[in-house]
Amino acid sequence: MIMEHEYRQLNSRETLLFLLLIATGAAFFFYRFGFLVLDPTSTEWLLGANDSATYYLGWQYFRQEPWFFPLGRIDSYLAPLGTSIPLVDALPLLAIPLKLITNLLPSDFQYFGIWILVNYSMQVLFGYLVLRNLCSSRILCLAGALFFLFCPSFLFRHGHISQSSHWLLLAALYFYSKPLASWEICAKIFAWFILIGFVSLIHTYLTMMVLGIGLADLTREYLVTRRLVKRRYFLTMAGLCGIVLFSWYSTGYLIYSIII
């Protein structure tokens, strides 16, 4: 009973720490951008510099078209060739589900502000989690998490909203650096499928980087730890590559090959 009580105390402390890390990222987001960008009807800030106007226009064209296959296909934008929601970097992960309820949404509706907030909050959290796998000092891990938040390559990328999801790379590094004995191989494979399937709906660059880390991790499990037998190793590798190709095909990353 005493051990169970101590475990629950430790668990609650970790949960509180995670919430504080998420809040830290959110606070810095509000400091940089204010509250207006979270208003789904506020679109003026998207129509300035960088490529954000392209994302918003792509979403507006997409939501007004009938459904096609691939699901993210847009015929009216860049007609007659057309394009797709992933090719205008408009976050198919959010754009495709939101199109299902587009009639319930305001005419000037954007979801990019909330995604930037997610990026800032998750950047701190996963930065901390990666460092906890590598360092026993909680103070150093917290300081390192702030480094990931203030990293110039992250701060100067916010104009390219989907590409600024650097926390997905940190999540991949977290999986890779997690002590091998701390989770079962089946759980690890499942986690990689979820993460790679998720990132494949956000951006191609990030997908290839996360996929590379995932394949490296599973190769280590096959060649070094021997927790993956040959058959399961190759099936898993093929499955991860397959889920990426299926996601890209069904959402419209490969739209030109379909149209032509």
Asked whether residue 104 is domain-assigned, the answer is yes
Which three-class secondary structure state does DSSP give residue 38?
A: helix
Domain boundary residue, one of 72, 93, 110: 110
Place of tokens 């790379």: 169
Range of the domain at 227: 179-260
Residues, the chain: 260
With a cut of 90, say whether residue 54 has pLDDT above it.
no
Domain boundary residue, one of 110, 133, 165: 110
Asked whether residue 156 is domain-assigned, the answer is no
Asked whether residue 260 is domain-assigned, the answer is yes
What total number of domains does the chain contain?
2
* Residue 226: alpha-carbon gap to chain centroid: 30
With a cut of 80, say whether residue 159 has pLDDT above it.
no
pLDDT of residue 256: 58
How far, CA to CA in Å, does 13 sit from each of 6, 8, 195? 11, 9, 26
- Report residue 8's pLDDT band, with 50, 70 and 90 as the boundaries: low
| Percent with pLDDT over 90 in the chain | 50
Asked whether residue 117 is domain-assigned, the answer is no
Q: What is the pLDDT of residues 164-203, one digit of tens each?
A: 999 999 999 999 998 877 778 889 999 999 999 999 999 9
Asked whether residue 251 is domain-assigned, the answer is yes
How far, CA to CA in Å, does 64 sit from each of 76, 81, 107, 185, 248? 9, 17, 10, 44, 22
pLDDT of residue 173: 95
Asked whether residue 3 is domain-assigned, the answer is no
pLDDT of residue 4: 40
For 70: left if phi > 0, alpha if psi spans -120 to 50, otherwise beta; the answer is: beta
DSSP tag of 74: E
pLDDT of residue 75: 87
Q: How far apart are CA 30 and CA 47, in angstroms?
A: 20
Asked whether residue 254 is domain-assigned, the answer is yes
Q: What is the mean pLDDT of residues 109-116?
A: 93
Asked whether residue 119 is domain-assigned, the answer is no
Which has the closest alpha carbon to 91: 44, 46, 150? 46
Q: Which residues of 81-116 are buried (b: 16+ CB within 10 A; e: fewer)?
A: ebbbbbbbbbbbbbbbebbeeeeeeeeebbbbbebb
For residue 173, count CB atoms less than 10 angstroms from its CB and return exposed for 0-12, middle for 13-18, buried for 19 or more.
buried
Domain boundary residue, one of 80, 110, 140: 110
Query: Mean pLDDT for the chain?
Result: 87
